[in-house]
């Protein structure tokens, strides 16, 4: 697929540029020191995850409303990549929090919400994995994929009602004091785009694998029942 | 929708004969309340603070464990296919089933609320109507979502494991808002619970509508 | 340069996560290609 090749190229270029910015160009943040640079993968991973979750919903709708097989494959792939990105966000978060605030975890609304979204889509991936051989699993997964995205606004609001254990943390979460610097903003957005492109590329790879799987299943069935 | 009510009444009658789901639900929830109370081992003031959380955690957890049964009944005698064959709107099946689940949840709470009140020494008699509103709103959203998902997992091999895993994260808004609303109601009546009630209402609207729209896709074929 | 270890850990985690997933996909793709080849051979023999 030529689109995949171009996407791969674009991802590589953008990633390289981002990494250069992150490690060479960007100034060190005053309060948090060099650890603050974790932000430049931590936030992009979250953005990529949400793009993937929306993709799951879009693919699911296409599958339910128009019987699109391609939509189903995209949903499956985006679910996996979304969980990967969400996991990366949840791993880099504590690694960043520990040296800065002295704790591994805070119940700040954004982190809490990310855990819930992670759990929803892990369930989605498990449904697809364990239910592989069941009839209609694609439809059921589509329903889960759609409800997951529908839940996002409600979860956001409800999670803000939690008082958390370190309320002071929430205000400085996203590198609050340093984002005025234009280089920092550029680095963040470029890294964001790079990560989203990477996720898109991974989704394409996974879609292709899934298409191959299904061709194999069809061939297997043909062999079993003989060719007429 | 007469069909919905017919299905609702049928489920109620079946359940009333054996009372399996209800008894399981009640006993499980009592066990959970007692376990949580013992685990926390609270002083009287701590107990009052913990009570809303224990109440809602119990409702949610025992709810997701028992919810599968409402569709297991259909599955065992392949009734679902028959139901779908009849000229009934699938949405009617959804409403009927969801009503059944709602009643089950309410019945469970009729036992659990006094239990929590007594064991954790939180007086609820004065705010009973307000509390009923909060619980009712939570139950509605729970039933709407759980009915949709239970219909799905009833047809899968791995159903018992998967239903709680799928439901619990999606139910967190009900858990959080339910607890916050209960806390507010215990202190100052409904107005204090404004924001939390709003979340519950939004959840109900979103998931009952989505449930009704998506249910036909789940039972199709 | 205090906390350099944490910075390293975070970027390594991201790197590993991505690399492992890509390798996983690559391996399964090779497997499925082999399986497809065998299935096609079986089909031709009939």
Of A222 and C34, the one with more pLDDT: C34
pLDDT at B126: 84
Decide if A116 contacts B172 (C-beta within 8 A). yes
Torsion of CA A107, A113, A118, A124, to 10 degrees: 140
Chain A: closest CA distance from residue B92 (Å): 18
Q: Which residues of C touch A219 (CB under 8 A)?
A: 36, 39-40, 43
Closest CA to A122 of A157, A70, A87: A87
Q: Which residues of C touch A92 (CB under 8 A)?
A: 10, 13-14
pLDDT at A168: 45
pLDDT at A169: 45
B→A interface, C-beta within 8 Å: 145, 148-149, 152-153, 155-158, 161-162, 165-166, 168-170, 172-173, 176-177, 180, 195-196, 198-199, 202-203, 206-207, 210, 214, 217-218, 220-221
pLDDT at A29: 76
pLDDT at B67: 82
Closest CA to A72 of A82, A62, A83, A85: A62
Decide if C23 contacts A50 (C-beta within 8 A). no
Residue A154, chain B, CB below 8 Å: the answer is yes
ipTM score = 0.90
Of C6, C28, C29, the CB nearest to A99: C6
Decide if A187 contacts A18 (C-beta within 8 A). yes
Q: What percent of chain C has pLDDT over 70?
A: 98
CA distance B139 to B68: 16
A91/C32 CB distance under 8 A: no
pLDDT at B89: 78
Domain that holds residue B178: 2-219
Structure token digits, residue A102: 């002295």
pLDDT at A117: 97
- For A69, residues 6+ apart whose C-beta sits below 8 A from its C-beta are A63, A214
Write the pLDDT tens digit of every residue in A72-124.
Answer: 999 999 999 999 999 999 999 999 989 888 889 888 888 999 999 999 999 99
> pLDDT under 50 in chain B at which residues?
none
Residue C41, chain A, CB below 8 Å: the answer is no
The model's pTM: 0.90
pLDDT at B12: 75
pLDDT at B76: 57
A38/C7 CB distance under 8 A: yes
CA distance B103 to B171: 18
pLDDT at B155: 76
B199/A150 CB distance under 8 A: no
pLDDT at A205: 94
Decide if A82 contacts A52 (C-beta within 8 A). yes
pLDDT at A101: 84
pLDDT at B75: 60
Residue C25: how many other CB atoms lie within 10 Å: 17
Chain A: closest CA distance from residue C36 (Å): 6
CA distance A172 to A169: 6
Domain A2-225 has CATH 1.10.8: no
Q: Token match 């030529």: residue?
A: A2
pLDDT at B84: 67
pLDDT at A176: 45
Beta bridge partners of A33: A29
pLDDT at B51: 92
Write the pLDDT tens digit of every residue in A67-83.
Answer: 899 999 999 999 999 99
Q: Mean pLDDT per segment of 10 residues, for chain A of length 228 residues? A: 85 90 81 86 95 97 93 96 97 92 86 95 94 84 96 93 59 50 87 95 95 90 74
The number of folded domains in chain B is: 1
Q: Which residues of A touch B168 (CB under 8 A)?
A: 119
B180/A161 CB distance under 8 A: yes
């Amino acid at each position: 697929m030529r689109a995949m090749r171009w996407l791969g190229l674009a991802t590589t270029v953008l990633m390289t540029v981002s990494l250069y910015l992150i490690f060479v160009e960007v100034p060190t943040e005053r309060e948090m020191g060099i650890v603050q640079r974790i932000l430049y993968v931590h936030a992009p991973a979250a953005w990529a995850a949400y793009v993937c979750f929306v993709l799951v919903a879009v693919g699911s709708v296409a599958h339910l409303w128009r019987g699109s097989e391609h939509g189903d494959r995209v949903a499956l792939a985006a679910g996996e990549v979304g969980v990967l990105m969400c996991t990366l966000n949840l791993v880099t978060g504590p690694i960043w929090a520990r040296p800065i605030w002295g704790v591994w975890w805070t119940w700040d609304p954004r982190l809490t919400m990310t855990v819930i979204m992670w759990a929803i889509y892990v369930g989605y991936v498990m449904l697809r994995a364990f239910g592989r051989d069941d009839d209609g699993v694609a439809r059921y997964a589509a329903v889960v994929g759609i409800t997951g995205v529908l839940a996002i606004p409600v979860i956001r609001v409800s999670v803000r009602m939690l008082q958390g254990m370190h309320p002071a943390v929430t205000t400085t979460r996203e590198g609050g004091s340093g984002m005025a610097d234009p280089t920092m903003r550029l680095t963040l957005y470029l890294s964001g785009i790079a990560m989203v492109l990477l996720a898109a590329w991974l989704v394409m790879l996974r879609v292709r694998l899934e298409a191959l799987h299904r061709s194999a299943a069809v061939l297997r069935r043909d062999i079993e029942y003989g060719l007429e | 929708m007469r069909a919905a009510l017919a299905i609702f009444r049928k489920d109620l009658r079946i359940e009333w004969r054996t009372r399996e789901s209800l008894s399981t639900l009640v006993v499980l929830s009592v066990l959970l309340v007692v376990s949580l109370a013992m685990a926390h081992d609270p002083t009287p003031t701590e107990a009052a603070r913990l009570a809303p959380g224990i109440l809602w955690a119990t409702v949610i957890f025992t709810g997701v464990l028992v919810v599968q049964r409402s569709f297991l009944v259909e599955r065992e005698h392949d009734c679902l296919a028959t139901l779908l064959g009849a000229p009934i709107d699938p949405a009617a099946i959804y409403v009927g089933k969801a009503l059944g689940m709602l009643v089950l949840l309410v019945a469970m709470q009729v036992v659990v609320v006094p239990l929590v009140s007594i064991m954790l020494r939180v007086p609820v008699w004065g705010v009973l109507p307000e509390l009923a509103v909060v619980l009712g709103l939570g139950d509605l959203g729970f039933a709407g979502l759980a009915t949709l998902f239970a219909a799905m997992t009833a047809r899968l091999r791995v159903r018992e494991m998967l239903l709680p895993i799928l439901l619990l994260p999606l139910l967190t808004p009900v858990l959080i808002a339910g607890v916050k609303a209960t806390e507010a109601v215990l202190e100052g009546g409904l107005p204090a619970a404004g924001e939390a009630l709003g979340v519950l209402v939004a959840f109900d609207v979103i998931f009952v509508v989505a449930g009704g729209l998506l249910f036909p896709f789940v039972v199709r074929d | 340069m205090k906390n350099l270890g944490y910075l390293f850990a975070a970027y390594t985690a991201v790197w590993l996560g991505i690399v492992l997933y890509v390798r996983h996909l690559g391996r399964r793709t090779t497997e499925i290609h082999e399986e497809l080849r065998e299935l096609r051979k079986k089909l031709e023999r009939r």
